Amino acid sequence: MKVAVALLGMLSCAAAFPWPYPAQFDHSNCTIKADSPTIVAKNSGSALLDSAISRYTAIIAKERFWPPADYKLKKPETTGTLGKLLVEVATDSEDLNMETDESYTLDIPAGGDATLKANTVYGAMRGLETFSQLLATIDGQRVVRGTPLHIEDRPALAHRGISLDTARNYYPVSDLKRTLDAMSYNKMNVLHWHVVDAQSWPIESKTYPELQTNGAYSVDMRYSYKDVSDIIQYGRERGIRIIPEFDIPGHTFIVGQTFPKIMSCLDKQPGWDKYAAEPPSGQLNIAKPEASEFAIELVNEYSKLFTDDVFHLGGDEVNRNCWAEDPDVKEYISSHANATVETLLADFYTQVHNAVAKQEKIGMSWEETLFHSEYAPPKDTLIQTWIDEQSIPKTVAKGYRSIASPASSYYLDCGHGAWLSNFDGNSWCDPFKSWMHVYNFNPWANVTDPEQQKLI
């Protein structure tokens, strides 16, 4: 069940506060009945809008939210009755990307029809969410408080996402859809799907079907092409983009279960921590052309399956020692003048980013690609900053866009204990990050240049 944040007060004329708080919210002191509001689209040919209206009509019909602060209130006096909600969208375009306009204007009078206006269907979706949050039930009477009210809203950030890892922990399609529902209730618009990692390869591959056969935890823990398309469409219907991440060249032990000959330092035991950030160890062998060809084929295949214009290549936590001790890497370096592990890694990054560009996609990578290698990513690359909060201003100072994801504020796995049996019980990023800590983080801190602020 979704809940709107209610004003803590005892007056029946108090206004309900939608979440997140709108850019502009003007309200008065009247309360109107809203028994069964009808939502009607005006002059729209958008199937996505029709779907959103049907969905919110069902949500509103089902929910009877009574704000806890108002439990002792009696049925309020009302000054009028809400009629229809008339939805107007300026264009039928259903393009969804980082530049999509999600703004909307919502007016609810002290009686009669309300109006919701947006430039795109996705702005209308955000407005429908706000409208549903403004409805409250007091002592059995559904009402809208604070009318007449006027809201003008737009997102402060173009990318408002959640990252979900389905490799270390498999989640069924129903759980992913439930997550997308929760995101839509909070007006979030990007699911960063960390599909694969060292631990498992749950997603179907038409190019290399053995990856899923050998890499999924079980036959019941897999995603088919149909599942992926279903999730993409489910997100689209809620104004949520699905950005896939295929982390290369590190975090790839599971690839070695199918193609061991293109791997380096595969499952080194004991002493795995000399070769990887976490077990099991294994990285694509950047000295072997076959490894680069494999990575490029992955980009070619999955950039067609995933429809978003952004493709995440990972690139984090690569272990230099893994390659420095690899016989093929050592042989390549000894036989090529000026070759080093760093030049090999930069060449690998160049090849996979070029492959993304050839698919007419925008590359995305973790900050190590920019700060911890000799490679200079294309300027349109999205850099996901996670190691240090200061990485955000450093990234935008170089002219790159930063997807701000600092572990110190945004990582939700912190404080739940270690998952390695020989550790002392603490997680790698203790302590737990409470919702207050998450919302107190300011991604614009230490960025004073207005043009650089736009890159966050």
Q: pLDDT tens across 391-411, in order?
A: 999 999 999 999 999 999 999
Return the percentage of the chain with pLDDT > 90, whole number: 88
Q: What is the pLDDT of residue 238?
A: 98
pLDDT at 74 over 90: no
Q: What is the pLDDT of residue 10?
A: 33
pLDDT at 15 over 80: no
Please, is 147 exposed, middle or buried when counting C-beta atoms within 10 Å of its C-beta (0-12, 13-18, 19+)?
buried
Radius of gyration of the chain, Cα coordinates, nearest whole angstrom = 25
Whether the CB-CB separation of 190 and 232 falls below 8 Å is answered with no
Q: pLDDT tens across 204-218, in order?
A: 999 999 999 999 999
Q: pLDDT tens across 20-34, in order?
A: 999 999 999 999 999
Q: pLDDT tens across 122-167, in order?
A: 999 999 999 999 999 988 899 999 999 999 999 999 999 999 999 9
Q: pLDDT tens across 223-277, in order?
A: 999 999 999 999 999 999 999 999 999 999 999 999 999 999 999 999 999 999 9
Which of the two residues, 132 and 66, has the higher pLDDT score? 132
pTM value? Answer: 0.95
Catalytic residue among 152, 278, 297, 317: 317
Tokens representing residue 210 in the block:
């053995």
Q: What is the pLDDT of residue 6?
A: 36
Provide the pLDDT confidence category of residue 202 given band limits of 50, 70 and 90.
very high
Q: pLDDT tens across 315-372, in order?
A: 999 999 999 999 999 999 999 999 999 999 999 999 999 999 999 999 999 999 999 9
Q: What is the pLDDT of residue 69?
A: 83
Does the annotation mark 317 as catalytic?
Answer: yes
3-state secondary structure the chain: CCCCEECCCCCCCCCEECCCCCCEEEEEEEEEECCCCEEEEECCCCHHHHHHHHHHHHHHHHCCCCCHHHCCCCCCCCCEEEEEEEEEECCCCCCCCCCCCCCEEEEECCCEEEEEEECCHHHHHHHHHHHHHHEEEECCEEEEEEEEEEEEECCCCCCCEEEEECCCCCCCHHHHHHHHHHHHHCCCCEEEEECCCCCCCCECCCCCCHHHHHHCCCCCCCECHHHHHHHHHHHHCCCCEEEEECCCCCCCHHHHHCCHHHEECCCCCCCHHHCCCCCCCCEECCCCHHHHHHHHHHHHHHHHHCCCCEEECCCCCCCHHHHHCCHHHHHHHHHCCCCCHHHHHHHHHHHHHHHHHHCCCEEEEECHHHHCCCCCCCCCCEEEECCCCCHHHHHHHCCCEEEECCHHHHCCCCCCCCCCCCCCCCCCCCCCCCHHHHHHCCCCCCCCCHHHHCCC
Per-residue pLDDT averaged across 12-25, rounded? 80
